[in-house]
Amino acid sequence: MTPMLMHMARHHPQLRLDIARGSTELLARGLRERTIDALVVDARSLAPAPDVRVSDSYEMRGAFLCRRGHPLLRRRGALGFDQLRAYPMASTPLSDEVARVLVERYGPEAHPERCITLRCEEIPSLVELTRRTDTVLVAVRALGPDLVELPMKPAMHATARFAMATLAGRTEAPALPIVWHLMAELLRDS
């Protein structure tokens, strides 16, 4: 959200932008109650509904991330999932699709309910945690450009599919095209 806030402050200083964070369920309720104009969410976590219009999805590659100097980086070659389990693991709430991919790749111990010890909706907090501790972060690779991606065997091959959602039949807020355009630029793998 920081790049979006900076863009709005620099290029649209008179435009009002309120950003709400929370679970997809809570945000979808706000959309239906018309306290939120639009959502940017992992499309896989948004239940299909006739009253919600989902458009423009963007896939971003997931990874296991750690800080430079992490003990796991001293090991040669690709890592097995059991080696990661020796450290705290953190993530935002993960979709059922990502949970399925993790279990298929690494076995039942990789289910987020079993392996994620630190869960938070605030991505910047998770990135900062990972920078300062031996925590392993399960996240979209682009969220931590200064973090190191751990080489895994097998490779993760999971993505987050971000989409923009609005209430069907509701007139779009005049500023939303600015937000949509900026989100399309920001939701790209680097």
Q: Could you report the per-residue pLDDT of 77-116, keeping only the tens digit for each?
A: 999 999 999 999 999 988 888 899 999 999 999 999 999 9
* CA contacts within 13 A on the Cβ side of 140: 21
Architecture per CATH, 61-159: 3-Layer(aba) Sandwich (3.40)
Tokens of residue 100, six digits: 């399925």
pLDDT at 190 over 60: no
Q: Torsions phi, psi of 148, nearest 5?
A: -105, 135
pTM of the model: 0.79
CATH number of the domain located at residue range(s) 2-59+161-186 in this protein: 3.40.190.10
Tokens of residue 188, six digits: 């790209």
pLDDT in tens, 130-157: 999 999 999 999 889 999 999 999 999 8
Q: From residue 104, give the alpha-carbon distance in Å to each of 90, 99, 138, 160.
A: 19, 9, 16, 17
Instruction: Please report, as a single letter, which amino acid is at residue 190.
Output: S
Which residues make up the CATH 3.40.190.10 domain(s) of the chain?
2-59+161-186
Which residues make up the CATH 3.40.190.290 domain(s) of the chain?
61-159
Closest to 98 measured CA to CA, from 63, 127, 56, 150? 63
